[in-house]
Amino acid sequence: MRLFVLGLFVFLSLTQVTAKSDRPIYEAVGEKVVLRPGSAVNPITNITWRYGPDVAMQWDGNQTYSYEQFKAEINNQVTKPIQLLVISRVSRPSVSTWCDPQMTYCVFTCEGNTSDAEPITFGWGASDMMWFFHNKHIITKDETEPLFSCYLHNPVGLMGSESVPNPFYTRSYTLIIFFTLCAVIILVLILLIWLTHKCRKEKPAMLPHGQETPLQEPTSVTV
């Protein structure tokens, strides 16, 4: 990570900041940032930018002379330094999963390239929730969220991982599907047996040559 103490304009998203803040200014490598040293009471007749003892840029009221690195003087008065930290954007993280042999708990670990991207904050997300805590997240078999994802965050960016399944939810969901299919199959078999039995009872007896048994006419008796 490179550290610069600056005062005016640096080619590094065009961001404007002033020297009134005591907090460091973060910007991504390859971006641009405009640093403003603040205002002056008297009319400004000259501006000098320095990095340590070295003159980086001068403006004498007419022309600008550019040198190298930066720190600001307005009317020969040194302004409050601006600390600029140039860092890399975070990469897309990935999540690894480990569960104990008894399957009582599982550990998700968020992993990613963090070189030159500090300070890094790790985060986790599930459904519509997001929380920042640590690069590891522990769940138990009582956890009902189906999917989890992790995030890497630094002052210049945020990147999320692909979602990973909750092993306990997947296991429970598989069992539910299995028992549901078994119940459906059993019901279908019962229905087929009932239909077969019903058809056999209603089917008429057959004579030779495929003739059905004629229905007997009722016998009349004359008294």
Per-residue pLDDT tens over the stretch 88-127: 899 999 999 999 999 999 999 999 988 888 899 999 999 8
* Rounded distance between C-alpha atoms, residue 24 and residue 5, angstroms: 9
pLDDT for 93: 95
Domains defined for the chain, CATH in brackets: 2-87 (no CATH), 94-169 (2.60.40.10)
Per-residue pLDDT tens over the stretch 18-76: 445 567 778 888 787 776 766 767 777 777 767 666 666 677 766 654 444 445 556 66
Between strands 2-6 and 157-160, the pairing is unpaired
Range among 1-5, 135-139, 189-193, 212-216 with highest mean pLDDT value:
135-139
pLDDT for 2: 40
pLDDT for 154: 93
3-state secondary structure (DSSP) of residue 111: strand
Between strands 2-6 and 82-87, the pairing is antiparallel
Widest distance between CA atoms in the chain: 145
